[in-house]
Amino acid sequence: MLPKPLVAASVRPIILTLLADQAMYGYEIIQRVRTISDGQIQWTPGKLYPLLHGLENQGLIEAFWRPSEEGPDRKYYRLTERGALALAGEKQSWLDLNAILVRLWGPDVHLQPAR
């Protein structure tokens, strides 16, 4: 499991990235992140949904309801243009940080075996 501060700091870039590709609803987002991270990142709904609402308030994502086969309509989220700009900013920040760490640890750090 990744340490909490890192998980917390990475929520925004991850969400914005996922919603740039395709519109998803909350449960789907949690599943996708768990799969992509091999279980290292497991978000709780109590933290995710308020975050999504906050991003929606800031205009970075927008929500719409879509009917589902097995019951009530689902609330989907997708990235807005403002969100795309924000995502570019976040991406740049992370890449810059990564570059600093690679500089410190040497370029071969990526060749070390993953956990």
Partner 1 sequence: MESRFDLKTALATWRQFQVRRQGFLTEDLDELEVHLRAHMAELRHQGMSDEAAFREAVRALGDLADAEPAYRRVYWGKLRRRSQVMDELRSRATMLGNYLKIALRTLRRQKGYSFINIAGLTLGMACCLLLFQYVAFETNFDAFNTKKDRLYRATFGYTRGDGQEGVSATSVLAFGPTMAEHVPGILRYARILPTYGGVVLSDPGASDSRSLTEERALFVD
Site residues, partner 1 (CB under 8 A) = 25-28, 44-47, 49-51, 53-54, 56-58, 68, 70-75
How far from 108 is each of 8, 38, 50, 92, 104, CA to CA, in Å? Answer: 27, 23, 39, 22, 11
Minimum distance of partner 1 from residue 3's CB (angstroms) = 20
Q: Which is nearer to partner 1, 40 or 68 (CB)?
A: 68
Q: Which is nearer to partner 1, 57 or 112 (CB)?
A: 57
Minimum distance of partner 1 from residue 38's CB (angstroms) = 18
Contacts of 77 (CB under 8 A, 6+ apart): 19, 23, 24, 25, 26, 29, 52, 55, 56, 61, 62, 63
Minimum distance of partner 1 from residue 114's CB (angstroms) = 27
Q: Which is nearer to partner 1, 65 or 105 (CB)?
A: 65
Minimum distance of partner 1 from residue 54's CB (angstroms) = 5
User: What is the rounded distance in angstroms from the CA atom of residue 40 to the CA atom of residue 3?
Assistant: 10
